[in-house]
């Protein structure tokens, strides 16, 4: 790599851990390392720390502390919510509703349940990635036991109308789960007001440590365990608690939800300048996702005639960390299922770039990306046979 | 994930561009699959005197095009026809398994350009020894 300075614009992939969070975690590695299930005093310190983190997490969601269960992260929370509700409510019905744009932790779990005899409806989305509440309501049958719809999409940043969807779920007495992994700290969440029965979150998306997450389970929801073993988490999630991780999650969620409007406004201002700059300086570029209903830090754009992975390699060479929905980075030959679900043509999906801003960024980073990105796009277009073929590169076809 | 050689040919691709009045042109791939290669050959006395390319695709696709054009320059058409996708991949010090189809595309591009030249000259096109890439199900896009 030629770059000396790293410009991190992949906050939706993961975030750095805030120093304040690390400082809170440190004592729980060497000092208060006791197993919370033990009865001696250092174990009581661990127990207290977990209880405090549970209060912090509950407060951030408008939940009660005893509705918060710590897990190993977003994937476990999604697996637990979906499989747990499906198996516990099998006698009531076997139908699950989700969307075509969910994270693979939800989609692959639903596909697994299909093999186990469940029926799954994958709701379509519009060109912006929005689920239509009326379409959800029509999909509900007498056999529907669970609706799982993400709070906000990880690729295109589109924020779903969760409160409206929650009303429909409540009206039909169907459990409503939302994967809120991308939304924590960016959007204000109130599980009671929004009729959310289960909610997944993951600490490393909001400046906490990796390997720690939580599932909110509203009191009274019928759900089976996913992890069987010891009696941790009030007998619902076996395994000795990741104390330091849980402490970190608690501190991180407290910090990130302290001033959501103020924080999001700051990130959004940088992001909007980036969007405007890119779309005005680079021709044949289009914004993916919704123009307004999108996460404050998310920018997803497609550039015609070029492919995403080659863009990432050049950006990486300049020290810019980004991601793409192109097949070429996914280990498969199909581009992003999210972009395809919005109706974006496959060839344009290959040319998508996602830049997700957050606390690692400054206005200078935006300036630098605006300086580098047009050059990268031009360089790749100059060697693309599609660009000259399209007649859009000057010459006799210039307008 | 990529070798230094792949990164070198990606960042400093050799022979990018088009040849005016090329003697043979071969375009392979599909935008739906995320890669298209267009190979241009200048041929004099049965020898490839110049080879250029334009590619839409990932790092491996660009590096494979660059390396393939390097490998066939100065070769007779018979020699160039025998430059296999493995030879392209080996010259790049290896490609990740999922990216091997990029080298297959490069071999096909060269073949197509050679046959374009042969047909223009009124000669029979040569027949591929190996099955075309779309039959390697694990290596190519099915579109």
Evaluate whether residue A399 is within a structural domain: no
Is residue B102 part of the annotated active site? The answer reads: yes
Same domain? For A218 and A289 the reply is no
pLDDT band at A395 (very low <50, low <70, confident <90, very high): very low
pLDDT for residue A326: 78
Q: Is A20 exposed, middle or buried (0-12, 13-18, 19+ CB in 10 A)?
A: middle
End position of a domain, from candidates A232, A256, A280 = A256
Q: Tell me, yes or no, if B31 comes closer than 8 A to chain A by beta carbon.
A: yes
Is residue B58 part of the annotated active site? The answer reads: no
pLDDT for residue A100: 98
Which tens digit of pLDDT belongs to each residue from B95-142?
A: 999 899 999 999 999 999 999 999 999 999 999 876 555 444 444 555
pLDDT band at A396 (very low <50, low <70, confident <90, very high): very low
CA distance B119 to chain A (A): 23
Which tens digit of pLDDT belongs to each residue from B50-100?
A: 999 999 999 999 999 999 999 999 999 999 999 999 999 999 999 999 899
Evaluate whether residue A161 is within a structural domain: yes
pLDDT for residue A141: 98
* List of chain A residues whose C-beta atoms are within 8 Å of the C-beta of residue B11: 313-314, 317
Show which of residues 93-112 on chain B sit within 8 Å of chain A, judged by CB atoms: 98-99, 101
- The DSSP result for A205-260, as a single string, is GTTS-TT-EEEEE-TT-----SS-SS-HHHHTS-S---HHHHHHHHHHHHHHTTTH
Q: Which spans in chain A are helix H?
A: 19-25, 27-30, 41-61, 74-88, 104-115, 133-139, 162-171, 232-235, 243-256, 260-281, 308-317, 337-341, 346-349, 363-382, 385-389
Same domain? For A109 and A242 the reply is yes
Two tokens at B115? Answer: 């046959």
Same domain? For A182 and A283 the reply is no
Which tens digit of pLDDT belongs to each residue from A338-363?
A: 999 999 999 899 999 999 999 999 99
Same domain? For A71 and A139 the reply is yes
Q: Where are the beta strands (DSSP E) in A298-356?
A: 298-303, 320-321, 352-356
Evaluate whether residue A398 is within a structural domain: no
* List of chain B residues whose C-beta atoms are within 8 Å of the C-beta of residue A386: 31, 36, 56
Catalytic choice (B88, B102, B110, B114): B102
- CB within 8 Å: B10 and A313: yes
Same domain? For A124 and A228 the reply is yes
Contact A281, A267 (CB under 8 A): no
End position of a domain, from candidates A237, A256, A275 = A256
Determine which helix (DSSP H) or strand (DSSP E) holds A200, and give its type and residue range.
Answer: strand A198-202
Same domain? For A27 and A85 the reply is yes
pLDDT for residue A389: 61
Which tens digit of pLDDT belongs to each residue from A142-186?
A: 999 999 999 999 999 999 999 999 999 999 999 999 999 999 999
Query: Span A267-271, mean pLDDT?
Result: 98
* CA separation for the pair A264, A256 (Å, rounded): 10
pLDDT for residue A87: 98
Same domain? For A243 and A277 the reply is no
* CA separation for the pair A305, A292 (Å, rounded): 27
* CA separation for the pair A15, A21 (Å, rounded): 12
CATH number of the domain within which A120 lies: 3.40.640.10
Write down the mean pLDDT value for chain A: 94
Same domain? For A295 and A170 the reply is no
CA angle A197, A72, A260 (to 5 degrees): 60
Evaluate whether residue A1 is within a structural domain: no
Per the listing, tokens 């223009």 go with: B120
pLDDT for residue A325: 83
Evaluate whether residue A11 is within a structural domain: yes
pLDDT cut 90: percent of chain A above it? 91
What ranges do the domains of chain B cover? Answer: 4-135
| CATH class of the region B4-135 | alpha beta
pLDDT for residue B135: 42
Same domain? For A242 and A281 the reply is no
Per the listing, tokens 């198996």 go with: A87
* CA separation for the pair B53, B43 (Å, rounded): 15
End position of a domain, from candidates A233, A256, A279 = A256
Catalytic choice (B16, B25, B33, B87): B33
Same domain? For A123 and A165 the reply is yes
Same domain? For A189 and A282 the reply is no
Contact B118, B124 (CB under 8 A): yes
Its domain, for residue A343, covers: 7-15+260-385
pLDDT band at A399 (very low <50, low <70, confident <90, very high): very low
């Amino acid at each position: 790599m030629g770059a000396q300075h790293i410009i991190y614009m992949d906050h939706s992939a993961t975030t750095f851990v805030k120093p304040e969070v690390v400082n809170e975690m440190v004592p729980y590695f060497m000092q208060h390392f006791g197993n919370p299930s033990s009865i001696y005093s250092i174990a009581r310190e661990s127990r207290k720390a977990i209880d405090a983190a549970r209060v912090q997490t509950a407060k951030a969601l408008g939940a009660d502390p005893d509705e918060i269960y710590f897990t190993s992260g977003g994937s476990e929370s999604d697996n637990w919510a979906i499989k747990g509700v499906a198996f516990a409510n099998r006698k009531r019905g076997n139908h699950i509703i989700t969307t075509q744009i969910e994270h693979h932790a939800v989609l692959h779990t639903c596909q697994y349940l299909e093999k186990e005899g469940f029926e799954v409806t994958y709701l379509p989305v519009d060109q912006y990635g929005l689920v239509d509440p009326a379409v959800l309501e029509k999909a509900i049958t007498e056999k529907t036991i669970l609706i799982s719809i993400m709070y906000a999409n990880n690729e295109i940043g589109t924020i779903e109308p969760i409160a409206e969807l929650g009303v429909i779920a409540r009206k039909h007495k169907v459990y409503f789960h939302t994967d809120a992994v991308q939304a924590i700290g960016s959007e204000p969440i109130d599980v009671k007001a929004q009729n959310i029965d289960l909610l997944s979150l993951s600490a490393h998306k909001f400046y906490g440590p990796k390997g720690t997450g939580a599932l909110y389970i509203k009191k009274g929801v019928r759900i089976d365990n996913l992890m069987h073993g010891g009696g941790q988490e009030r007998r619902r999630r076996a395994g000795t608690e990741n104390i330091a991780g849980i402490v970190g999650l608690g501190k991180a969620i407290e910090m990130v939800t302290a001033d959501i409007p103020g924080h999001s406004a700051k990130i959004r201002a940088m992001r909007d300048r980036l969007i405007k700059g890119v779309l005005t300086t680079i021709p044949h570029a289009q914004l993916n996702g919704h123009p307004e209903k999108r996460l404050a830090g998310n920018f997803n754009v497609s550039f015609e005639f070029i492919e995403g992975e080659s863009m990432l390699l050049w950006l990486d060479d300049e020290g810019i960390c980004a991601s793409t929905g192109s097949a070429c980075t996914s280990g498969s030959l199909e581009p992003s299922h999210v972009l395809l679900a919005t109706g974006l043509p496959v060839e344009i999906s290959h040319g998508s770039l996602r830049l997700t801003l957050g606390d690692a960024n400054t206005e200078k980073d935006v300036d630098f990306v605006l300086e580098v990105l047009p050059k990268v796009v031009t360089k790749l277009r100059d060697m693309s046979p599609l660009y000259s073929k399209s007649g859009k590169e000057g010459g006799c076809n210039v307008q | 994930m990529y070798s230094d050689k792949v990164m070198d040919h990606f960042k400093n691709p050799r022979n990018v561009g088009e040849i005016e009045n090329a003697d043979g042109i071969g375009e392979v791939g599909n935008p739906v699959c995320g890669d298209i290669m267009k190979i241009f050959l200048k041929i004099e006395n049965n020898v490839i005197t110049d080879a250029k390319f334009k590619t839409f695709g990932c790092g491996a696709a660009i590096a494979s095009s660059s390396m393939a054009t390097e490998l066939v320059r100065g070769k007779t058409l018979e020699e160039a026809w025998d430059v296999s996708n493995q030879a392209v991949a080996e010259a790049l010090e290896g490609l990740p398994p999922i990216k091997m189809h990029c080298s297959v595309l490069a071999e096909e591009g060269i073949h197509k350009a050679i046959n374009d030249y042969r047909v223009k000259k009124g000669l029979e096109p040569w027949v591929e020894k190996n099955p075309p890439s779309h039959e390697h199900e694990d290596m190519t896009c099915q579109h």
